[in-house]
Structure 1
Amino acid sequence: MQPESTPATQRAVKLPSVDKLMLDPSALLLTEKYGRTRVVNEVRKLLAELRVEALSHAGAMEKAGEADISTIVSSVSERLRQADVSPLKCVYNLTGTVLHTNLGRALLPDVAVQAVMQALSSPMNLEFDLETGKRGDRDDLVEDLLCELTGAEAATVVNNNAAAVLLLLSTLAGEHHGEVIVSRGELVEIGGAFRIPDIMLRAGAKLHEIGTTNRTHLADYANAINPQTALMMKVHCSNYAISGFTKSVDLEQIAVLGRERGIPTAVDLGSGTLVDLSEYGLPREPTVRETVAAGADLVTFSGDKLLGGPQAGIIVGRADLIAKIKRNPLKRALRVGKLTLAALEPVLALYRAPEMLRDRLTTLRLLTRPRADMQQQAEQLLPLLQQALGSAYLVSAEAMLSQIGSGALPVDQLPSYGLSIRAALEHKQSNALGKLEKLLRDLPRPVLGRIAQDALWLDLRCLEAAQQPEFAQQLGLLRASHLTGGQ
């Protein structure tokens, strides 16, 4: 005997079949755009959900029972559209941090963008020597340039600076668990819980910590050297600075000691710059060339920080040590692909004409942008933003401070200008700034600022003139009633 059907099951059964839905002209159009497999899968998924709703809720079963083909196909179309929206979006970086790790750090100059586009669509001689017709070395594409710009004997490239440090330590100290001498004040942790001691452990090296947090002397290095010592290492103090009663040892002294004792000296510069930034009105930072000239046998640095190129970890130094590093099996696991090299080579080439670098290198252009330009932008955008937000917020153009970011020059700030937004008195208790910050992130091109001191700050350093019209147009999408629940 068949069980008696309930109203819910009757309504659930009324849903159209997959075959019937797929014959609808609108569904046929979807298959042309998304493919039949995707459309059928999405139809089946939606019908299954409607059946569950029909069997579990009275209100929902009425909806399911009344659902017609056009409504279901329309829902499938919207689901497919949303599924094809990439989670990776262009944003406006108004945070005040130029090299923002969470936003991809350095922006590539046009010459690098064009080179990447060409590499995306064409085979290239990545590991092919066109002169001999034999297999080549991908490092050859940039090694001569790196040596020219840094004064090093040889160079190699991996996928980021953490990988460069890992590979260096694994090669010179990891095989026999050799000791690496590092000052306690340089045992840094940077973003993503990247810690120098942890990297040493994973590389197979043994940390030999010397000195104290604030003071280390040359004698500490000399006294620590023993038969197990494989390397002496200096690490750039990324994201922090120690001041007051401090003492560190100059690289030149450590390098001389290393040569006397037959111990290589390595320097992790972190950000790494190829030019004297003070010539552009920026805070001074040791250059890679100066570090090599001071006696470092190996230097590691990033490609996507002060260098202004793609994500990469670069190792330069003595030819014999670089050759040894390149023979490490880890090198293949950490190597870069053609897109990275396609972007890195033209960025490095820009440094051959340092007098033109400010105009051609995007990162340097943003870091040296005149505050007067940003002030003019702020004054132009202020009335547009105030009109969009209404009386719920008070917008003002104000001087502010930017930072370089990504661990570069952590205590130095750059004079900047932008817009500050404060909630009107009657809305201060309604989390109005948080709501506005969320609405800005929900714009077609999300706008990212920062909340501090009871205000939402929009630093305009990274909003270039060509982007201003599109940015201003988006302001019309803001509505104060969405933020405060009405006025």
Structure 2
Amino acid sequence: MGAASNPPDGKNALLRGLPSIEQLLRRPSLESRLANLPHARAVAALRLAVERVRSRLLAGDLRPFEDADVEAALASLATPNLRPVINATGVVLHTNLGRAPLAPEAVERVVAVARGYSNLEYDLDEGERGSRYAPLIGLLRTLTGAEDAIVVNNCAGAVLLILAALASGRECIVSRGELVEIGGGFRIPDVMRQSGAKLVEVGTTNRTRRADYANALSPDTGLIVKVHRSNFALVGFTEEASLAELTELGRSRDVPVFQDLGSGALVPLSGPGLTSEPTVGQAIRDGADVVAFSGDKLLGGPQAGVVVGRADLLKRIKSHPLTRALRVDKMTVAALEATLELYRDGRPEAVPTQSLLTQQPAVLQARAERLAALLAARGIVGRVVSVDGQVGGGAMPLSRLPSYACSLTVVAPKVFLERLREAEVPVIGRIADDEVVLDVRCLSEEDLGQVAQAVAAARSG
């Protein structure tokens, strides 16, 4: 019965008439559908269906309860909340979409350790307790030139741990131009204060010299901190002290220098539209005593905060109580080890982030044309257009990656994007100039067919 057929007081009548869970369990039309389900799942689906209909009625949609509502609820329960999507945004390290996709080798390693037991904290040679960081330390030493390393849950956690272990109750000197805000509204100064360190700001927003740091040094100084502006750029009338200048200053006054690199590239990145990015190894060579960086940005691994540096400082960091609170699990260790091995073996191109960022425009144009052909076969016009993609994830903010996309002219772009997200594998696109734009940079060949199918379903819906 449609909304137009209900009398003015139909909402209240329909609300009062909503069936109970027991009534639905005994409803003949649902008996065969629920018979083979675990009782708990059947009850959960019925409760969800009733709640959805109640919300629908309260919102003014006067469609009564139907068996189809139960089917929809069962489908929802069978669909994981966290699931794969197709990234057609052109943003490679899309934070909302999980940032770096893992290499097949990393995925295989995760599956191998996740399905059973592992030697996470067991030394197979000695037959006694070991360290969960052991599989990573040697690789990180080799790849960065640092003396020691540790890995925690993310880079913000790494910064918090370093400051708490090395500078709690003491002063940390940092440039005003480097007091960045990271994702989710979290600000570096707030993280610093939570560590117990005392923040000492020097310089101005656009110009900070070596002398500004030198003048701020005192017997209470615990660290000189340099934060790489990985998620924004400072251009124009600017000046900053180099890391090498700060490490020379720090050593002359016996004050360690901590470099927060953020996005953390292990190797130089070069490709169309990419700007330069400092590497972790260069920071170590420039004299940084401690360096922190992310595992799931330019490195292309799992979410993690990696800390490398001097052995004596890492010993203090490892012994701090926060290390236990921020430690990583076996799946992170497995994925990161496999990713680092690809770099060790001279195969950075096997890391998806590296290959996605360095694709040539001609390759992307050909891929967009294949998607347009698949759409044309379904009677849909997709114009191949040149677009600019982004690195994403708070990395390389000035980079504009030349890419190609299929642009669709639709009546209601926002509604169309909603329909694309309803596909079996949701497709995430964007709107530009009132058209739906599907960037092909992050699409595999298999994705092209799924995208075309999702577009066709959205058009017909």
1:403 positional shift: 1.2
- Establish whether residue 30 from structure 1 lines up as the match of residue 34 from structure 2: yes
For structure 2, the 5+ residue unaligned runs are: 1-11, 57-61
1:120 positional shift: 1.3
Q: Map 1:34-73; keep pairs closer than 5 Å.
A: 35-40=38-43
| Partner amino acid, structure 1, of 2:329 | G
Name 1:112's counterpart in structure 2: 106
1:300 positional shift: 0.2
For structure 1, the 5+ residue unaligned runs are: 1-7, 54-58, 65-70, 483-487
1:80 positional shift: 3.0
Q: How many angstroms apart in 2 are the aligned matches of 1:97 and 1:318? A: 35
- Establish whether residue 235 from structure 1 lines up as the match of residue 227 from structure 2: yes
TM-score normalised according to structure 2 size: 0.88
Q: How many angstroms apart in 2 are the aligned matches of 1:95 and 1:389? A: 23
Q: How many angstroms apart in 1 are the aligned matches of 2:51 and 2:299? A: 54
Q: How many angstroms apart in 2 are the aligned matches of 1:231 and 1:440? A: 50
| Change in CA separation of 1:15 and 1:470 when aligned onto 2, cut-off 3 Å | closer
1:41 positional shift: 6.0
Q: Report percent identity of matched pairs.
A: 46
SS of 1:478 mapped into structure 2: helix
1:282 positional shift: 4.1
- Establish whether residue 210 from structure 1 lines up as the match of residue 202 from structure 2: yes
| Change in CA separation of 1:79 and 1:15 when aligned onto 2, cut-off 3 Å | closer
| Change in CA separation of 1:376 and 1:231 when aligned onto 2, cut-off 3 Å | same
CA contact (8 A) 2:180 2:229 kept: yes
SS of 1:201 mapped into structure 2: helix
- Establish whether residue 364 from structure 1 lines up as the match of residue 354 from structure 2: yes
CA contact (8 A) 1:190 1:238 kept: no
CA contact (8 A) 1:18 1:43 kept: no
Name 1:477's counterpart in structure 2: 457
| Change in CA separation of 1:439 and 1:45 when aligned onto 2, cut-off 3 Å | closer
Q: How many angstroms apart in 2 are the aligned matches of 1:352 and 1:470? A: 35
CA contact (8 A) 1:388 1:477 kept: no
- Establish whether residue 461 from structure 1 lines up as the match of residue 445 from structure 2: no
Name 1:379's counterpart in structure 2: 369
Deviation digits for residues 86-143 of structure 1 (CA, Å, limit 9, x no counterpart):
2223211111110011110000000000001111111000011111111111111211
Q: How many angstroms apart in 2 are the aligned matches of 1:456 and 1:50? A: 32
The answer to which of 294-303 and 414-423 deviates more is: 414-423
**Pairing partner for 1:295 from 287, 290, 299:** 287
Name 1:219's counterpart in structure 2: 211
Structure ID, larger Rg: 1
**Pairing partner for 1:399 from 374, 377, 386:** 386
CA contact (8 A) 2:121 2:132 kept: yes
- Establish whether residue 165 from structure 1 lines up as the match of residue 152 from structure 2: no
CA contact (8 A) 2:173 2:213 kept: yes
Q: How many angstroms apart in 2 are the aligned matches of 1:402 and 1:45? A: 40
1:389 positional shift: 7.5
1:15 positional shift: 7.4
Q: How many angstroms apart in 2 are the aligned matches of 1:26 and 1:221? A: 73
CA contact (8 A) 1:128 1:134 kept: yes
Q: How many angstroms apart in 1 are the aligned matches of 2:192 and 2:20? A: 62
More helix by share: 1
SS of 1:372 mapped into structure 2: helix
Name 1:272's counterpart in structure 2: 264
| Change in CA separation of 1:91 and 1:379 when aligned onto 2, cut-off 3 Å | same
1:446 positional shift: 1.8
| Change in CA separation of 1:409 and 1:322 when aligned onto 2, cut-off 3 Å | same
| Change in CA separation of 1:383 and 1:270 when aligned onto 2, cut-off 3 Å | same
Name 1:434's counterpart in structure 2: 414
TM-score normalised according to structure 1 size: 0.83
Name 2:22's counterpart in structure 1: 18
1:31 positional shift: 5.0
CA contact (8 A) 1:92 1:448 kept: yes
Deviation digits for residues 198-244 of structure 1 (CA, Å, limit 9, x no counterpart):
00111111110000011111111111001111000000112211111
The answer to which of 177-186 and 458-467 deviates more is: 458-467
Q: How many angstroms apart in 2 are the aligned matches of 1:127 and 1:283? A: 40
Instruction: Please tell me the root mean square deviation across aligned C-alpha atoms, in Å.
Output: 3.1
CA contact (8 A) 1:98 1:405 kept: yes
CA contact (8 A) 1:388 1:479 kept: no
| Change in CA separation of 1:47 and 1:330 when aligned onto 2, cut-off 3 Å | closer
1:280 positional shift: 9.1
CA contact (8 A) 1:22 1:40 kept: no
1:381 positional shift: 2.2
Q: How many angstroms apart in 1 are the aligned matches of 2:46 and 2:441? A: 47
Name 2:185's counterpart in structure 1: 193
Name 2:134's counterpart in structure 1: 140
Name 1:446's counterpart in structure 2: 426
1:291 positional shift: 0.3
Deviation digits for residues 19-65 of structure 1 (CA, Å, limit 9, x no counterpart):
894596964763543x22343565578789999x9xxxxx99xx78x
SS of 1:410 mapped into structure 2: coil
Q: How many angstroms apart in 2 are the aligned matches of 1:388 and 1:300? A: 49
CA contact (8 A) 2:46 2:73 kept: no
| Partner amino acid, structure 2, of 1:379 | E
Deviation digits for residues 412-460 of structure 1 (CA, Å, limit 9, x no counterpart):
111111112345xxx5xxxx22222222222222221222333332111
